[in-house]
Every structure is written in C-alpha cells, then in structure tokens.
Structure 1
Amino acid sequence: MAADIAEQPAGYARLLETGPVAAIAEVAAAIAARRPRHVVFTARGTSDHAALYAAYLTEIRLGLPAGLASPSAITLFGARPDLSDALVVGVSQSGGSADLAEVLRVARAAGALTVAVTNAPSSPLAGIAELSVDVSAGHERAVAATKTYTAELLALLMLVEGVRAGDGVLPAAERAALDALPGLAERTLADRTPAQLAHRYRFAARLVTTGRGYAYPTAREAALKLMETSYLPALAFSGADLLHGPLAMTDPDVPVLAVVGSGPGGDSMREVLPRLGERGADVVTVGSADIAGATARLDVPEVDERYAPLLDILPLQQLALALALARGEDPDAPRGLKKVTTTL
C-alpha cells in the first residue's frame, strides 16, 4: 500500500503524457458530438467515490443533470429505464464487476452512449462499452485502492473538461494547471503529519469525515480507507448533512477529519467548523490554511477546488496506512476482502 501511494505523482504524469491525453480527448470529442441530455454513472466501492466526483463536475462544469445509478435496479429487479438520450459511464478499476457490465449492456441496448473508465482496457466492462478510457495506473498491488482511485479522478476530470471544450482538447490554462499536479502531489506526500496523527488516534473507537461539494467524495473515500485497513468505524457526511442530526454524535472522543479547501465548498465548511467546536470535537482539517479551533492540519497545496480532490486524498491515504500499522493491522491484507469484488 505504501508503494502504491508513493507512485501516484508518477501516475499523474503518465496520464498527462501525449498518448493518454490524445485518447481521452478523442472520447471526449465523441461525447460532445452526441450531445447527451443527462449523465448516469455506475460504480462500486472506491470507484463509486470517483464517480461521485465526476457527477459534481458534470453538473457544475457541463450544466447537465448527473447521478449515480443503482445497479441492482437493473440486475436484480429487471428495470429497463429509458436511457436513449443519456451518457452512461461505468467506472471500475478492474472492469470485472458483472453488475456494472450489465448496466452498460442494458444502457447501450436502450440507445445510450456508453463509456468505460477502467484500469483494465481488455476487461469485460471495456468490451461492452462503446467507448473506453484507460486510466493507466499500472498494476496495483495492495487490496486497498489508492493509485487507481486518483487515476480515475484525473481521467474523469480530463474527460469532463474535454467535453466542455467541445473538441476534447484541454485549454492551455487547464493543461498548465494539470501539469503542475505531479509536483504538488510529491510535495503533499512528503509531509510526515499523517504518521504523527496515527499514533494519536490509534485507540479511537470511531471517527467522522466530512467535506462539501468536490470535497465530499474525498470524505467518503477517506472513511472507506479507514474502515477497510484499520476496521475503524468511520462515518462520512457532507458538511450540510452533518448539521442535520449527525452533529449530535460528535464530542471530544470522536475525531473529525474535515476537508476544507478554497472556493464555495471550503467557504461552506468554514461555517460548519464552529458548530463542531461547540461540541468540543477534535477536528483535523485537510487544506492549505490553519483554521481556528482545529487541533491539527494535514497540509495540502492550495489549488482550484476542482483539482483539490487529487491532492486532498493523499495524506488521508497515508493516515489510513499509518493508523492500520499503529493498531497492529496489516493494511495489505484486509480481512475478508479481495481485489475484485463480485456483486450481482
């Protein structure tokens, strides 16, 4: 898991090379030419969080309604929704989930434009889809997905921005911002704060993660990593939903990891944090600025809010790894888990 985490800056650089950029641009141009009226993402586990990020991008950047499909509606209940004007995107690291493949098969038969985003270009999912995007993350050794998750994030970002451009070609300013990501990721991973926090929280009984907008998928993915490597009950809430009841469970014994970046999402979280302070919650923020009331901060360089999920998750992955080790667990062999999970 440590090796996979460390490879992410190189993974960003690889995905930004000429070949992958051109391949994603071609898919983006084909999508733009079809002019879908709405977008449906289908995914499981870690990839579900990447798909949620893409749904935010789609609605905010493309102005198209977007949502996440419930695969069981099709695979278990036999639903056949009208997807004739839709773009349906399957996101899966392995491309081997039978239920996701079935969703794309049904969607394509209904007239939808189908796209597979996967780390396995020869997988069943990629074979069923009309178009496919290879996230080019390379072989991932650990069961807990890290570098494939961030590769999905970057590929989906490039895809959405390519559709927005119309011809698939990223504007120069966009490309320059993306080209800076490998170096910023290296800088983020060099911080040793996650290991220090792991010793502080090794006896925690439960934990809360929270973020708003683009940061919400990061909060969900961080909670999943903590649960699957440390077996620590971790509950993820959007900053807005946290105030609708779950706030009551926070107290000095429940650490809260709050992703607080720049932009509207970060501004909204700055209004949530004082409420956590009223509860005496032990709050650790993820972001570029110190915030009053927080007990610690996982430092992440400030970038446009759209790009922040590619950096914010990195110290949280490191925290999950370090916390598992501090608790005497083996993060490379989570009990009961396999690299490919089969669901129907």
Structure 2
Amino acid sequence: MSADIAEQPAGFARLLEDEHAGAIAAVAAEVARRRPRNVVFVGRGTSDHAALYGAYLSEIRLGLPVASASPSAITLYGARPDFTGSLVIGVSQSGGSADLTGVLSVARENGALTLAVTNNPESQLAKAAELSIDVAAGHERAVAATKTYTAELLALLMLIEGVRAGDGRLPEQERAALAKLPQLAEEALADPAAGELAQRYRFASSLVTTGRGYAYPTAREAALKLMETSYLPALAFSGADLLHGPLAMADPDVPVLAVVGDGPGGKSMRDVVARLGERRADVVTIGPAGELRVPAVDERYSPLLDILPLQKLALSLALARGEDPDAPRGLKKVTTTL
C-alpha cells in the first residue's frame, strides 16, 4: 500500500502524456459529437466514489442531469430500462464485476452510449462498452485501492473537460494547470502530518468524515480506506446531511475528518466545522489551511490531492493498531458481484 500511494505522482504524469491524453481526448470528442441528454454512472466501492466525483463534474461543468444506476435492478430483477440519449459510464479498477458489465451491456442494447473507465483495457467491462478509457495506473499490489482511485479521478476530469471543450482537446490553460499535478502530489505526500495523526486515533472506536461538493467523494473514500485497513467504523456524510441529524452524535470521543477547501464547497463547510466545535468534537481539517495540509488548487482538482494524506493516515493508523493494511481480513483485490 505504501508503494502504491507513492506512485501516484508518476501516475498523474503518465496519464497526462500525449499517448494517454490523446486517447481520452478522442473518446471525449466522440461523446461530445453524440450529445447525450444525461449521464448515468455505475461503480462499486472505491470506483463508485470516483464516479460520484464524475457526477459532480458532469452536472457542474456539462450542465447534464446525472443518475447512479442500480445494478441489481438489471442483474437480479431483469429490468431493461430505456437508456435512449444517455451516456452510461462504468467505472471499475479491474473491470471484472459481472453486475457492472451487465448494466453496460443492457444499456448499450437499449439506446445508450456506453463507456468503460478501467485499469484493465482487456476486461469484460471494457469489451462490453462502445468506448473505453484506460486509466493507466499500472499493477496495484495492495488490496486497498489508492493509485487506481486517483487515476480514475484524473481520467474522468480529462474526459469531462474534453467533452465541455467540444473537440476533446483541453484548453491550454487547463493543460498547464494539470501539468502541475504531479509535483503538487509529491508535495502533499511529503508532509508527515498524517503519520503523526495516526497515533492520536490509535484507540478510536469510531470516526466521521465529511465534505461538500467535490470534497464529498473524498470523505466517502477516506471512510472506506479507514474501514478496510484499520477495521475502524467510519461514517461519511456530506456537510449538509451532517447538520440534518447526525450532528447529534458528535462529541469529544468521535473524531471528525472534515475536507475544507477554498471553493464554494469548502466555504460552506466552515459553518459545519463551527457547529462541530459547539459540540466539542475532535475535528481535523484537510485542505490548504488544514491540519492535514494540501496545496491550494482549483476546487475541481482538489479531490486528486485531498485524498493523499488521508490514504497515508489509513496506512499509518492500520500499522499503529497492529493490523496489516496489505492483507485486510475477508477482502480480495477483485470483488465480483451479480
């Protein structure tokens, strides 16, 4: 897991190279040409969190309504929805889960433009889709996904911004900003604060993560990483949902990880952090001004950096609690569901 985490800056750089960037641009141009009326995402676990990031991008940057598919409706109940005019995107590291492949197959048969975003271009998911994107993260050794997650995020960002451009090619200003990501990721990973924070949470019995907008997928992914490596019950809430009831459970014994950036989502989180303070909750913030500090970037890019110290925290906390983060109990690298 440590090695996978450390490879992420190189993964960003690889995906931004002409070969991979050009392939994503060609897919984006085709999507733009087909002019979908809406977007439907489908994914599981970590990839579902990447899909959630894609949903925010699609609604905000493309102005398209977005839905999340329910795989069981198709694979267990035999539903055959009319996907005419829809772009259906399956996001999966392995591309090996039968339910995701089933959704894309049915969607393609029923009018959708289908796209697979995966780390395995030879997978069944990629073969089932009309279009596919290789996130080019390389072999991931740890069971807990880290570098494939951020590669999915960057691929979705490049795709959606390419669709917005119309011809698939990113504007020069966008390319210049993305070119800085590998170095910024190096800076975020070099900060030792996450390892130091692990000792603070060593004996925690539960934890809450929260964020709004583009930061909400980060909160969900951080909670998953903590659960699968440290077996620590972790609940993820949007900042808005946290105020609609779950705030009542906040107290000094329940640590809260709050993703607070510089954009609209981060600004809205300031009231959430203040309300948590009134409850005397143990709050640690992640962001340009947080205890877990990451470089300041456009809010669209923040999820690619904000998750990095949280991955390090999950790794360090597992070790501090005497667990093996490379062999989470009961888990396998590829999980197949129907």
TM range (shorter): over 0.9
Moved over 3 A (4+): none
The Cα of 1:262 is off from its aligned counterpart by 1.0
Partner SS state of residue 169, structure 1: coil
Q: Work out the CA distance in 2 between the residues paired with 1:62 and 1:137.
A: 26
Q: Work out the CA distance in 2 between the residues paired with 1:227 and 1:302.
A: 28
Match of 2:182 in 1: 182
Identity rate, percent: 79
Q: Work out the CA distance in 2 between the residues paired with 1:174 and 1:318.
A: 28
The Cα of 1:326 is off from its aligned counterpart by 0.1
The Cα of 1:334 is off from its aligned counterpart by 0.1
Match of 2:280 in 1: 280
Q: Work out the CA distance in 2 between the residues paired with 1:160 and 1:50.
A: 13
- 5 Å-filtered alignment, 1:31-110, equals 31-110=31-110
Match of 1:319 in 2: 313
Q: Work out the CA distance in 2 between the residues paired with 1:225 and 1:143.
A: 10
Q: Work out the CA distance in 1 between the residues paired with 2:198 and 2:3.
A: 18
Match of 2:296 in 1: 302
The Cα of 1:24 is off from its aligned counterpart by 0.1
Q: Work out the CA distance in 1 between the residues paired with 2:187 and 2:274.
A: 30
Partner SS state of residue 232, structure 2: coil
TM-score (structure 2 length as normaliser): 1.00
Q: Work out the CA distance in 2 between the residues paired with 1:288 and 1:152.
A: 23
Would you say 1:252 and 2:246 are equivalent positions?
A: no
Deviations 1:251-275 (A, max 9, x none): 0011000000011100100111110
Partner SS state of residue 215, structure 1: helix
Q: Work out the CA distance in 1 between the residues paired with 2:9 and 2:247.
A: 36
Match of 1:163 in 2: 163
TM-score (structure 1 length as normaliser): 0.98
Partner SS state of residue 10, structure 2: helix
Q: Work out the CA distance in 2 between the residues paired with 1:18 and 1:67.
A: 32
Partner SS state of residue 213, structure 2: coil
Q: Work out the CA distance in 1 between the residues paired with 2:103 and 2:203.
A: 42
**Structure 2 runs not aligned, ≥5 long:** none
Q: Work out the CA distance in 1 between the residues paired with 2:200 and 2:20.
A: 41
Would you say 1:339 and 2:327 are equivalent positions?
A: no
Q: Work out the CA distance in 2 between the residues paired with 1:142 and 1:175.
A: 31
Partner SS state of residue 198, structure 1: helix
* Aligned pairs, number: 338
The Cα of 1:42 is off from its aligned counterpart by 0.4
The Cα of 1:67 is off from its aligned counterpart by 1.7
